[in-house]
Structure 1
Amino acid sequence: MSAGAPGPSPAADGEPLLGQAELEALLGDAGHGGDDGMRRVVGAGLVAYERLPMLEIVFDRLMRAMTGSLRGFTGDNVDVSMEGMSSLRFGDYLEGVPRPALLAVFRVEEWDNYGLLVVDSALVYSVVDVLLGGRRGNAAMRVEGRPHTSIERALAERLVSVVLDDLSEAFKPVSPVRFRFERLEVNPRFAAVSRGGNACVLSRFRVGMEDRGGGLELVLPYATLEPVREALLQQFMGEKLGRDSIWETHLGEELRLTELALDVVLDEQTMPLSAVLSLRRGDRITLDASPDAPVKLRCNDVDLFEGDLGRRKDRLAVRITRELRDAAVVAAAVEG
């Protein structure tokens, strides 16, 4: 080791904390062509985004819905399959979008956010070929390097509208929502619907039409899904509808046996803090209430009833004369 290079930090007993082999394992060895160790350390600090089990069911419903709707849209035998779903950062996805591709920006008004639907050029050419009378069994003619024409863009917009309608229907059991097409972009920089470092869910679909076809990619930022995050964490569609009658009966019986403390309020008045601090033993506080004035019954700082104060045998008693709050409001206030 050279004189200017710092060595491993010594431990309290004089031994180094890390040996040479451990340092090489941590930092990697560039001479052997392996991955850089420090890069692996930095990569390990990336956020591991949570899985949303219900989202997989939604995308499965979307795949089956698109199979039927695209058959009606194209008049051809269409097969839609899902190639995978993954989580990544939105900026990383935009950097890898192949060109030329059409990026459809859509808005989710109920969730007040946006998403992205990317149609690759192969699918655009295939849809144009099918809708404009191309022969069956022939692959769509592709012209590399040229931008999409206005006719191709118009037909792609119709395709996107069909897919977004199916996406709205797929999300319906989770939350009533409408995905509305907003604009079509060809430059990924103009389709930035989220910050580059934000997490997003990417799902890839393959649309096949005999010898033709292409890919669809649906990008939903986690911020867009946040309003329905709790619903998407469910394991199955009917989880939120499940009931346990035995537990409900037991809970109801226990609640009826619960004891609550009710305070009888004869009078209330506001006093300066100085007057309260000056109170001494033997001082009197005069109540501004007559013997026949109604009193209030209070629980947890919530006025529940109004009644008359009296006596029953050798005990003070209150006879309730009026409810001060609605029963549902009282229940909510007591729970709070």
Structure 2
Amino acid sequence: MHVATRNDGGGMSTEAVLRKKIDQSRVSVASYPKLSVLAASHARETAARVRSLFNTPADVKTEANAVIRAGRYLRGLPAPTLLGVLEVDGVPNSAAFHMDAELVSHVVDMSLGGDPGVDSSYPQRSQTAIDLAMCTRFANSVLQALDTAVRTVCKGKSLGYMRCMRFETTPQMANIAPERSEVMIINQRVEIGEAGRNGFFELVLPLSVVDPIKGDLMQHYGSPSSLNSDLWDKRLRRSLLQSALTLDAVIDMQHLPLERLSTMKVGDVIKLGHGAMEQLELVIDTQRGKRSFAACRLGAKGSLKAVKLVSDPPIDLIDQLRLEG
């Protein structure tokens, strides 16, 4: 396609404007509302694995999430750098795992028995084969944490098996995805040991890699208004369940003539029916009148009289009480 250009000296040419648009580094994270939720879950899982890996306190925090052009991201990395190329089953593009020099130094030192209470690092030292093996082990722990986080946030789904195949020191040699394709970036800060050793790593996931969970990441997980509404509903429900209702334990029911009732006085005796003490009834007041709640038996609990239910309350009565509340 031929693009006509014009530059009168006072502005940018049409071709330059188009080039700037095409190479725009940051795309948008607004289309993936759950990306931040996934990143937070991944941080928690990674922290647990780092603690287990080095047998020392550790914390991981999400610093940033972004969706940017693959080419612009790789060009922005320093050279030399340590960029792990991740193979993903069933996907032509690769993912990537970037560690800054400080984190590389801490991971290698801690893997070789370094003191977690001393903040010692040698970020300018060139990496050996042993160093790369230690970084590969760390990267695979981070990938296991990612798989757990994805299954948690995306209802059991998975990105497939991912593993660190090799490390590149020249970013452009990684060739993880076409230059203008979009990649998701999850940037995490790692703190290790009592001395607070820290560094950063980034997971670089082409959109083709996250395709199995793209629909889940695009779902809104609740606006502030809906969250407030849920909180209000829960408060109302809690208040309803704590409201007091009148419950009577009925020992016996008899029909007595008015003539006898009108002449009763202190000391008079009313005989109970056979089995009255064995089979009691709990009666509850509702807006539709009194209803039987459950059959029960009279007994004792400690020094107090008590009743024990011998039948379940009717389900329709429970539903009615909830509606009336």
TM score, norm. by length of structure 2: 0.57
Taking a change above 3 Å as real, the CA distance of residues 7 and 168 of structure 1, as seen in their structure-2 partners, is: closer
Correspondence 1:94 to 2:77: no
Distance 1:63 1:163 in 2: 9
Deviations 1:285-336 (A, max 9, x none): xxxxxxxxxxxxxxxxxxxxxxxxxxxxxxxxxxxxxxxxxxxxxxxxxxxx
2:84–2:166 Cα contact (<8 Å) kept: yes
Deviations 1:216-271 (A, max 9, x none): 0111112222343222211239xxxxxxxxxxxxxxxxxxxxxxxxxxxxxxxxxx
2:87–2:94 Cα contact (<8 Å) kept: yes
* 4+ runs deviating over 6 angstroms: 36-41
Correspondence 1:153 to 2:136: no
Correspondence 1:183 to 2:166: yes
Per-residue deviation, 1:201? 1.4
Correspondence 1:192 to 2:175: yes
Distance 2:44 2:123 in 1: 31
Counterpart residue type for residue 188 of structure 1 = P
Within-5 A mapping of 1:211-226:
211-226=196-211
TM score, norm. by length of structure 1: 0.55
1:108–1:115 Cα contact (<8 Å) kept: yes
1:122–1:213 Cα contact (<8 Å) kept: yes
Taking a change above 3 Å as real, the CA distance of residues 100 and 74 of structure 1, as seen in their structure-2 partners, is: farther
Per-residue deviation, 1:37? 11
Counterpart residue type for residue 191 of structure 1 = A
Instruction: Judge which range, 63-72 or 183-192, deviates more.
Output: 183-192
2:82–2:100 Cα contact (<8 Å) kept: yes
Q: Identity across aligned pairs (percent)?
A: 26
Distance 1:83 1:126 in 2: 19
Taking a change above 3 Å as real, the CA distance of residues 149 and 7 of structure 1, as seen in their structure-2 partners, is: closer
Per-residue deviation, 1:38? 9.3
Per-residue deviation, 1:53? 1.4
Correspondence 1:84 to 2:69: no
2:27–2:68 Cα contact (<8 Å) kept: no
SS in 2 for 1:53: coil
Q: What number of residue pairs does the alignment pair up?
A: 208
Q: What residue is the counterpart of 1:121 in the other structure?
A: 101
1:167–1:179 Cα contact (<8 Å) kept: no
Instruction: Judge which range, 61-70 or 225-234, deviates more.
Output: 225-234
Q: What residue is the counterpart of 1:104 in the other structure?
A: 84
Q: What residue is the counterpart of 1:63 in the other structure?
A: 43
Correspondence 1:74 to 2:54: yes
Per-residue deviation, 1:170? 1.1
Correspondence 1:139 to 2:109: no
2:35–2:65 Cα contact (<8 Å) kept: no
Within-5 A mapping of 1:303-314:
none
Q: Structure 1: state its 5+ residue gaps.
A: 1-5, 9-22, 29-35, 238-336
